[in-house]
């Protein structure tokens, strides 16, 4: 409470004779003029002010006007005037004074005005508190409302009659970019989640893992992805990311983000995940199609293995089927055993990348690391039948060869010569790539009904998954998955021609646990559903 009057008796009388605590006032201060009152108000922020309207240095009217111009908090003022000050009172009311009292001051009258002012301030405080609470509720509700809308768009077929309502909701929830941007859909799933749940025996553990993955993906996209995105978790404990892709090249950025997310989830959440990415971006009314497509692509991890990015072309990552990674010694060995000179030269394009990953700055350190890399490679090659033993008899000679070269270009060239020599040695006695594919084909035809993966077949024929994938494309002109699907569908057509099998039995017998997925694949390859195919064969299905 601030009392302003240039007469000591009046201001002290008001300070001491009014029962201020009855009006909720805890502290009463005084000022002897408008200028000192303004200084006190700036520092102490009084909520109630009683001021004389006429004073010697600065009038109460000028004081109220000055405080109103700069105060950023709520306050109420009451002016004290004589009978002949009506015009000044009117001006004070225009400036925000809530009421006035006449001299001589009647304490009862002043008390009524003070109570009214105190009530107004209390109501204002309550209104602000309620508004803040409401804002908090709204802010807390918005993420849930966004998730519900994203879930509706992705998991339900588009209804054109609801476009206006959806458009309004997208704008209200600050997702208006989804109205005009094309979008890709990324589905992130924990590998072997059921096994994790069974091992830990705790649904809470699964919840923590899923929560951690969501945090990593959100932070990664916020930090690295240059366009808007939206994220939600579906009922299958998967995270769905809807990512703006205004231009076709933005899909490459989506792939890069997926690879970064996988690495960070591995590092920080300590679990393996598979990520499926829709083939092409689409408008918001196509989100459901993109979501379904990504879900279908995700099933490929049963073939290609998990902890990788999956697309409609198969799988992508550091181990590129068309360009084996020279960081992986097993892949380098397969390159030497089954690749052409051109394959070796293409793989060596990643030599600089490998050396940079060692994070060495001194030439001698790089030479030493490369020497160790070659020794490890030669040991593995010897175990597979490489007959050159010169490195083993004279390792110093190998070191002296490397020591001659002090640039990455020259070191790369020398390393490539080692690989080419090794390849010529292997070609003289190793099995051909055609023999590897023949063995793989034999194994696939014997075990197509099982949960075959690229990894499991590669292990059976003793090559790396990367190289088996490359050999399939070279020898069969198909990806591993395409070839496996062909074998399964070939058997499915034979079984569908036999009346004793139900369609769901056929699906299970050829390796598909989900009859719906089997039907989609069969129609894509045969041009008709299994039921339609049977009718063409003259078999009436129940």
Q: Among 339, 305, 302, 376, which residue's Cα sits nearest to residue 470?
A: 339
Determine whether domain 2-125 maps to CATH 3.30.420.310. Answer: no
pLDDT confidence bin for 490, thresholds 50/70/90: very high
For residue 342, the tally of other CB atoms under 10 A from its CB is 8
What's the pLDDT score for residue 445? 92
Residues 325-339 as b/e (b if ≥16 CB within 10 A, e otherwise) read: bbebbbbbbbbbbbb
For the chain, the structural domain boundaries read 2-125, 156-316, 329-427, 433-536
Q: How far apart are CA 439 and CA 244, in angstroms?
A: 45
273 pLDDT above the threshold of 70: yes
- pLDDT one-digit tens code per residue, 169-186: 899 888 999 999 999 999
- pLDDT one-digit tens code per residue, 12-42: 888 888 888 888 888 999 999 999 999 999 9
Between the alpha carbon of residue 87 and those of residues 61, 84, 166, 303, 536, the distances in Å are 11, 8, 57, 90, 101
Q: How far apart are CA 210 and CA 365, in angstroms?
A: 42
CB 42 within 8 A of CB 92: no
pTM over 0.85? The answer is: no
What's the pLDDT score for residue 248? 63
CB 345 within 8 A of CB 368: no
Please tell me the total number of residues recorded for the chain in this structure.
542
What are the two backbone dihedrals, phi and then psi, of residue 201, each rounded to the nearest 5 degrees?
65, 25
Question: Could you give the 3-state DSSP secondary structure of residue 124?
Answer: helix
What's the pLDDT score for residue 318? 42
- pLDDT one-digit tens code per residue, 314-359: 655 444 444 567 878 888 888 888 888 988 888 888 888 788 778 7
What's the pLDDT score for residue 304? 62
494 pLDDT above the threshold of 80: yes
CB 92 within 8 A of CB 49: no
- Answer with the residue of higher pLDDT: 200 or 277: 277
What are the two backbone dihedrals, phi and then psi, of residue 27, each rounded to the nearest 5 degrees?
-140, 130
Percent of the chain having pLDDT more than 90? 25
Identify the DSSP state of 98: -
What's the pLDDT score for residue 320? 44
Class at the top of the CATH hierarchy for domain 156-316: alpha beta
**Mean predicted lDDT score pLDDT of the chain:** 85
CATH superfamily, region 433-536: Homeodomain-like (1.10.10.60)
Q: How far apart are CA 319 and CA 465, in angstroms?
A: 9
- pLDDT one-digit tens code per residue, 387-418: 888 888 888 988 988 888 878 888 889 999 99
Q: How far apart are CA 187 and CA 189, in angstroms?
A: 7
What's the pLDDT score for residue 231? 94
CB 360 within 8 A of CB 352: no
The first and second tokens of residue 120, run together, are 């107004």
- pLDDT one-digit tens code per residue, 91-148: 878 887 888 888 888 888 888 888 888 888 888 888 888 887 776 766 677 788 888 9
The first and second tokens of residue 267, run together, are 């590092």
pLDDT confidence bin for 244, thresholds 50/70/90: very high
The first and second tokens of residue 78, run together, are 């009451």
What are the two backbone dihedrals, phi and then psi, of residue 385, each rounded to the nearest 5 degrees?
110, 5
pLDDT confidence bin for 384, thresholds 50/70/90: confident
527 pLDDT above the threshold of 60: yes
């Amino acid at each position: 409470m601030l009392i302003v009057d240039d007469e000591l008796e009046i201001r002290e009388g008001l300070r001491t004779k009014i029962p201020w605590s009855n009006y909720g006032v805890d502290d009463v201060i005084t000022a002897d003029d408008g200028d000192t009152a303004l200084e006190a108000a700036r520092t102490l922020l009084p909520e109630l002010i009683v001021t004389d309207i006429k004073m010697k240095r600065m009038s109460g009217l000028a004081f109220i006007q000055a405080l109103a111009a700069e105060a950023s908090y709520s306050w109420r003022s009451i002016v004290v005037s004589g009978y002949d000050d009506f015009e000044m009172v009117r001006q004070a009311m225009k400036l925000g004074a809530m009421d006035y009292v006449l001299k001589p001051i009647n304490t009862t009258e002043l008390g009524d005005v003070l109570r009214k002012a105190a009530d107004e301030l209390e109501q204002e405080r309550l209104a602000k508190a309620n508004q803040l609470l409401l804002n908090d509720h709204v802010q807390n509700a918005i993420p849930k409302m966004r998730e519900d809308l994203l879930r509706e768009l992705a998991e339900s077929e588009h209804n054109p009659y609801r476009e206006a309502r959806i458009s309004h909701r997208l704008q209200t929830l600050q997702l208006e970019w989804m109205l005009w941007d094309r979008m890709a859909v990324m589905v992130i799933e924990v590998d072997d989640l059921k096994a994790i749940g069974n091992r830990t025996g705790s649904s809470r553990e699964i919840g923590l893992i899923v929560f951690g993955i969501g945090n990593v993906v959100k932070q990664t996209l916020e930090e690295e992805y240059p366009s808007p995105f939206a994220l939600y978790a579906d009922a299958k404990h998967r995270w769905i990311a809807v990512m703006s892709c205004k231009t076709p090249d933005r899909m490459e950025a989506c792939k890069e983000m997926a690879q970064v997310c996988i690495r960070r989830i591995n590092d920080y959440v300590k679990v393996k995940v598979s990520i499926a990415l829709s083939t092409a971006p689409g408008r918001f009314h196509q989100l459901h199609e993109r979501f379904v497509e990504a879900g279908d692509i995700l099933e490929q991890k049963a073939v290609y293995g998990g902890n990788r990015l999956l697309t409609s072309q198969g799988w992508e990552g550091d181990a590129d089927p068309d360009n084996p990674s020279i960081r992986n010694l097993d892949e380098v060995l397969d390159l030497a055993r089954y690749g052409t000179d051109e394959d070796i030269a293409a793989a060596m394009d990643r030599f600089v990348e490998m050396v940079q990953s060692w994070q060495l700055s001194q030439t001698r350190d790089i030479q030493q690391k490369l020497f160790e890399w070659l020794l490890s490679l030669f040991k593995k090659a010897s175990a597979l039948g490489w007959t050159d033993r010169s490195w083993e008899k004279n390792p110093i000679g190998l070191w002296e060869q490397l020591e001659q070269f002090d640039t990455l270009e020259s070191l790369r060239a020398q390393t490539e010569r080692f690989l080419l020599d090794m390849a010529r040695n292997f070609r003289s006695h190793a099995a051909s790539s055609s023999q590897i594919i023949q063995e793989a084909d034999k194994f696939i035809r014997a075990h197509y009904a099982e949960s075959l993966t690229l990894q499991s077949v590669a292990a059976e024929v003793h090559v790396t998954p990367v190289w088996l994938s490359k050999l399939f494309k070279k020898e069969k002109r198909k990806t591993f998955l395409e070839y496996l699907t062909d074998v399964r569908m070939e058997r499915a057509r034979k079984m569908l021609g036999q009346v004793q099998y139900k369609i769901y039995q056929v699906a299970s017998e050829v390796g598909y646990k989900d009859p719906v997925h089997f039907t989609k694949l069969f129609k894509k390859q045969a041009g008709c559903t299994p039921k339609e195919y049977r009718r063409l064969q003259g078999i009436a299905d129940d």
